[in-house]
Structures are given as structure tokens and as C-alpha cells.
Amino acid sequence: MRSWKIVVAGEGGQGVQALAQTLALAAYHGGLESLYIPNFGIEQRGGVSLAMVQLSAAPIGAPKFQIADLIVALSPRSYRRCFQHLGPETMVLYDSSLMEPPRVEDQVVGLQAYDTIAPEAFAERVGRHPRREESPPPGRRLIAIPASDLARKHLHPRVFNMIVLGAIGAITGMVELELIKEALAKKLDRRFAKDPDLKENNFKALELGWEKGTQAAKEAAVGAEV
Amino acid sequence: MKEAVEGEKRAFMSGNEVVAWAALAAGADFMYGYPITPQNEIMHYWRRLAPEYGRGFLQTEDELSAGFATIGGILSGKVAFSATAGPGTVLFQEPLSMAEMMRIPLVVVIQQRGGPSTATVIYSQQEVTLACFGGNGEGLRLVYSTSSHQELYDYTIKAFHRAWRYRFPTLVLGDGYQAKMHEALTLYNPQERGWGKVPAEPILGLDRKGSVRHLRNTFSVEEELAETLRRSLADYRKAAEELVEYEFLGEWGGELLVVAHGIVGRAARAAVRGLRAEGRRVNFFRPITLRPFPGQAFQEALRASGGALLVVESAQGQLGRIIKEALAEEESGSFQTLYRPGVGITAEEIMEAVPL
């Protein structure tokens, strides 16, 4: 067992916080140390929404961290806010139906910025804005999952974040799928009781994401869409 | 009153929810508040839970009103509290000063946000000076700086007991990170951990012998004020010996002492553990009471660390100033004082104060 430092980055309204909070809650129910902290501005919708989650067998220190083990990118501009959390070993899971393969070359890795003053502007100002890369460089661990398309095609557009959550669960391997389902059911108990379809859709999305994540984790082929 | 927590139970929740549960478990009767991020959810959870446990809530028109309404509740003998942040903490200085003067057990939870002014709704440690010394007085307050959800629970409960026992306004100083982050803690019934009921009683009204109690915050002459302050300061100094709390990690023969408080204490502790694992002799000191400050323990920790100091905080030297004062005490051979709060000072007095 290892520990995971995870950043989830998306747009307000995409369900980034619900996803991250559910992951942390599931890990807690699984007997792990777990910490979730939201990071967003004052917008209710439409702003960049970041969440940090730490899962570990040992007690967790500071709520925020510099270098992530896993960045989950759900929109291009929110990913740009994550440059400061990118290290040489950082794995990047992204929604390939919403964005191009994210850039992870050395000029971006470990780039320092403040997430409260539009760090992409800061990066440009110091002349270190990343170049566009056509194909992900070798040795980087990029995982593409078209969560948004999958949700639209097979389930319901709103449950795309649960596909992402299922994939994170499978890739990190710290939390059982059943625990994630339980955590979600606990979080949405009243709404699930009112609407059994909602529960089924969410659970199916988790299962689909889990399946895609498991596949991705197995395939050493980096950057391949699964 | 229905018990909010029976036995012990593990929970995973946000810091704001922790504060609401702690206040319920401590037996708080009433919360008065005015919304401000990042403390809003303390109000939201309290308002949602309070009716279930026979407790009350009132949203006032602003923070000044929230502070004075809380004082009103307390004067009638209720265990009342409030919570605020940022510019709200600025407005709270007026009721907090009155509570210092009239020795009212006002409990306020502060979730620090960025400053000055509106700044950010997110996080900072910039309300240390306000929390400790914000009023037009001498800072006769008790300020707990917490670093985890467990401490947020423990010290919110403790704040009510300490405030009512020592009759100084008591603040629990959290921050936006602690307010919003989710982590695990153990909820418990304080009575099962040896805490009795909060020793609350009507402060205004008739005393046990049937005579009317008076509280004053206005004085006709300087000397009356000086006498009242002399008593309060003496009480505070005496209480300080019993109240100071801190965490120390390390031993004699250290090369450096890292000092941090609150949530930054977690990062500092982790850094010190990392450095020690690499063979560095770095020690760690975290004041839990920022006011009164555990000066003696700090000085011992500093001596154990060869006198070298690294102060870390999410502010431009607000903890640093408190540390400098503690250092000045250490070197009191060259740092003389003549303090006369609220009264004039004559040339003769100063001449007498100059050492031979």
C-alpha cells in the first residue's frame, strides 16, 4: 500500500467537489487516513474548481501539497491551474472527450504559481508557458478516458463525474468499489430514496469507470485511449 | 436538554460541522451569528441541528449585533456563542472589548480568511493580532489555535468551560482550510470525559443573597479604571499559569527550533520529522494557546535548540511579534518596562523606574 496525493481539476458545476469528497469518505470507511479540501473561488458556477484528496495508511500532515501523484483533469483551463502540482512522476488522468491530451513536458513540471492569481497568466509572464505537444512524451503516465462521451452515450450526462471517480478508484487501488458505492449512497441517501433510477445510473457509472480504470492501469501503453 | 453525542463515535466531516457538533456536545444553548465565508456552515449546521436538541439560533443584522446579542444571552445565564471571520472579526472587537472589561464569558469561533478587508474567502493566519489584541484594551482573552478536526472539537468544548470558569472572552482560532476540509475525528460526550456541565449562571440580576449585581464598563476617573484593570490583569496572569498549552517535539542539543501554530503546525511537524529522519537535530514548538502565550515553555524549547529559531506562518509576522515579545522577556535584563494602562505617567515615576 502506498499513499496518494490527488488533485481533481474541473469547472464549477462538473461535480469535482462531490467526486473528491466521496472518494475521501470511501477511503475513511475503508479504514484509511483521508483528507479532502476544496479549492475554489467565490463563483457558484463557471469558475475553475479544484479539490485535493490525500489517502494514506499513515496520519496526514498539511491539507495542501505541492507535487501530486495523480492529477485528474476535466477541462483545459483547470488543468493549467495544476502545473504547480506536476512532478516527473505525476500521473495524469484526463477526460479525452472534453480536452486534448494534457501537456506534461519538463518546462511545465514543478512550475510555481499561485492558484489565486490566475497562474497561467503568471506562467506566461515569466516566459515558461508550455509548448503544445502532439503526442505525450515517453515515460509520462497519461491516461485518457472519454468519461463525458461514455456518460452521454450509455447513461446520463450528469453522471460523468462518477465514471471519473470509478476510474480513480481502480487506478489508485486504495478503495474498494463497494466502499465508493456505499459512500455515495450515504451522501445522497435522501435523493436515492426518492429516485431509484438516479441510484442505478450513478452505480452503473461507477462500475463503468472502474472497468475503464482497471483496463488503463493494466495497459502499460501510455496515452492510449481506453 | 437532549444530549447531542452519546458514547464515542468516529466521524468524517468538515471543520465547520465539527464546531457545530462540539458546541452541541458542550451544552451550548444558543448561537447568534451573521453569515460570512468561510464560517457560514457553522451557522447552517447549528441551525439545522439546534431544534432537534432544544437549542436556539438567531441571525442578527450584522456582526456587531451578533456579538452584543451573544453577550445578552450570556448575561441571562445562557451558554451562548458566535462565529465569524475576516472583516467580521474586525467588527467583533467592540463586543469582545466589552467582554474583556466586564469579564463576560463570550465564546467566538474564528475561521480566518485572507486580509486586509474583503481579500479572499479562502484562508490565512492573518487574524492572530486581532484575535489576541484586537480591542481597545490589554488583550485579556484566551485564544486557542487548533491544528486538526480533533483539536477543533476538543478546544471548542474546552472554550466554553474555560470562558465560564475564568470569565475572560475565549476564542477558538481556526481558518478557512480547517473550516472546509474533511477529515476524521472522534466525537464524544464531554461529560463522559470528566467535563461537568459548563458552569453557567445568570450574570445580571440578583445574586444568591438577593442583592442586585452590577457590571461596569464606564468609569468616572482614571484611578477607578486602573484599579479594575489591576485586578483583571492579576487574574489573567494567575490564570495564564493554568491555561497555557503547547506541543513540543525534540530534545536537548538541537540545532534549530521551528515554531508554527494552527494548521501550519501540521506542515511544520511533518517537515521537522522529515529533517530528523535525515539526521538533522531540528526541534518543533507549537503554541496551542496564542494568548496567554506559553512563554516559559517556549524559552526552554529555544534553549534546547541552541537559540536558533525559524518562525513559520501564513501571515507577515503576526506570530513573529508574539515570539519577539517572548524573546524580550528572556532578555529582560536589558528590557525594562514601566506599564501604566489607562493612567498618566509623571516624570518622577519614570525617574524612579530607571535602575540604579
In this structure, the answer to whether residues B17 and B128 fall within a common structural domain is yes
Q: Write the secondary structure of chain B as one string of H (helix), E (strand) and C (coil).
A: CCCCCCCEEEEEEEHHHHHHHHHHHHCCCEEEECCCCCCHHHHHHHHHHHHHHCCEEEECCCHHHHHHHHHHHHHCCCCEEEEECCHHHHHCHHHHHHHHHHCCCCEEEEEECCCCCCCCCCCCCCCHHHHHHCCCCCCCCEEEECCCHHHHHHHHHHHHHHHHHHCCCEEEEEEHHHHHCEEEEEEECHHHHCCCCCCCCCCCCECCCCCECCCCCCCCCHHHHHHHHHHHHHHHHHHHHHHCCEEEECCCCCCEEEECCCCHHHHHHHHHHHHHHCCCCEEEEEECEEECCCHHHHHHHHHHCCCCEEECCCCCCHHHHHHHHHHHHHCCCCCCCCCCCCCCCCHHHHHHHCCC
- The answer to whether ipTM exceeds 0.90 is no
Cis-peptide into A138, omega within 30 deg: no
Domain match, B173 and B261 both? no
pLDDT digits (tens, 9 = 90+) for B98-149: 999 999 999 999 999 999 999 989 999 999 999 999 999 999 999 999 999 9
Query: Does position A126 have pLDDT exceeding 60, yes or no?
Result: no
Top-confidence residue, A129 or B113: B113
Q: In this structure, what CATH number is given to the domain that contains residue B289?
A: 3.40.50.920
Chain A residues contacting B via beta carbons under 8 Å: 21, 24-25, 28-29, 33-39, 41-42, 60-64, 116
Residue A138 has pLDDT above 70, yes or no: no
Counting residues of chain B whose pLDDT is more than 70, the rounded percentage is 98
Q: Are the Cβ atoms of A35 and B182 closer than 8 angstroms?
A: yes
| B118 and B257 share one domain | no
> Do B308 and B181 share a structural domain?
no
| B201, part of any domain | no
Same domain, B52 and B186: yes
Residues B266 and B159 in one domain: no
- Domain end among B171, B193, B215: B193
Domain match, B15 and B77 both: yes
Q: How many CB atoms lie within 10 A of CB B35?
A: 17
- pLDDT at residue B334, rounded to an integer: 66
Confidence of residue B355 (pLDDT cuts 50, 70, 90): confident
CB contact under 8 A, A28 and B12: yes
- Of residues B173 and B338, the one with the higher pLDDT is B173
Residue B340: the pLDDT is 81
> How much is the average pLDDT of B72-89?
97
Task: Tell me whether residue B356 is in a domain.
Answer: no
Q: Is the pLDDT of residue B272 over 80?
A: yes
Domain boundary among B193, B228, B261: B193
Considering only CB atoms, B121 lies closest to which of A24, A33, A42, namely A42
How far does the CA of residue B42 sit from the closest CA of chain A (Å)? Answer: 17
Q: Is residue B57 part of a domain?
A: yes
User: Would you place residue A83 in the very low, low, confident or very high pLDDT band (cuts 50, 70, 90)?
Assistant: confident
Question: In the listed set B193, B215, B235, which residue is the last one of a domain according to the structure?
Answer: B193
Looking at the 3D structure of chain B, how many domains does it have? 2
- pLDDT of A137 strictly over 50: no
| CA A100 – CA A92 distance, rounded (Å) | 12
Both B49 and B158 in one domain: the answer is yes
The Cα–Cα gap between B172 and B37 comes to 16
Pick from A88-97, B104-113, B164-173: least confident: A88-97
pTM listed for this prediction: 0.89
CA distances from B256 to B272, B327, B328, B330 (A): 10, 15, 19, 17
Stretch 309-348 of chain B: residues touching chain A, C-beta under 8 Å: none
* % of chain A exceeding 90 in pLDDT: 56
Lowest-pLDDT choice from A97-101, A105-109, A159-163, B200-204:
A105-109
Would you call B9 an interface residue with chain A, using a CB distance cutoff of 8 Å?
no
Nearest CB to B120: which of A29, A60, A116? Answer: A116
Confidence of residue A42 (pLDDT cuts 50, 70, 90): low
The cell numbers describing B251, all together, are 530534545
Q: Kindly state whether residues B259 and B148 are assigned to the same domain.
A: no
For residue B352, tell me if it sits in a domain: no
Residues B113 and B51 placed together within one structural domain of the fold: yes
Q: Work out the minimum CA distance from A197 to partner chain B, whole angstroms.
A: 27
Rounded average pLDDT over A160-180: 96
Instruction: Report yes or no: B71 at the A interface, CB cutoff 8 Å.
Output: no
**Residue B302 domain flag:** yes
pLDDT at A101: 77
Q: Is the pLDDT of residue A43 over 70?
A: no
Check residue A220 and give its pLDDT: 45
Lowest mean pLDDT among A102-116, B150-164, B238-252, B289-303: A102-116
**Are both B155 and B289 inside the same structural domain?**
no
Is A28 close to B184, i.e. CB distance below 8 A?
A: yes
B342 lies in some domain: no
Q: What is the mean pLDDT of chain B?
A: 94
- B184 close contact with A: CB closer than 8 A: yes
Confidence at residue B333, expressed as pLDDT on a 0 to 100 scale: 63
Q: Are strands B107-112 and B80-84 parallel, antiparallel or unpaired?
A: parallel
Same domain, B47 and B135: yes
Nearest residue to B157 via CA among B201, B202, B103, B198: B198
Q: Which of residues 252-271 of B touch A (CB under 8 A)?
A: 263-264, 266-267, 269-270
pLDDT digits (tens, 9 = 90+) for B174-188: 999 999 999 999 999
CATH number at residue B72: 3.40.50.970
**B348 within some domain:** no
Residue B59 sits in which domain range?
8-193
Question: For residue B238, is pLDDT > 90?
Answer: yes
Which among B120, B182, B270 has the least Cβ separation from residue A62?
B270
Residues of A within 8 A of B122 (CB-CB) are: 39, 116
Q: What is the pLDDT of residues B23-39, one digit of tens each?
A: 999 999 999 999 999 99
* pLDDT tens readout for residues B300-340: 999 999 999 999 999 999 999 999 999 877 666 667 778 88
What is the residue type of B313?
Answer: E
Q: Are B125 and B262 in contact (CB under 8 A)?
A: yes
Choose the most confident range, by mean pLDDT, from A37-51, A114-128, B83-97: B83-97
B170, A28 contact by CB (below 8 A): no
User: Strands B246-249, B282-287: parallel, antiparallel or unpaired by DSSP?
Assistant: antiparallel
Domains of chain A: 4-218 (3.40.920.10)
In a domain, B177, yes or no: yes
Give me the amino acid identity at B59.
Q
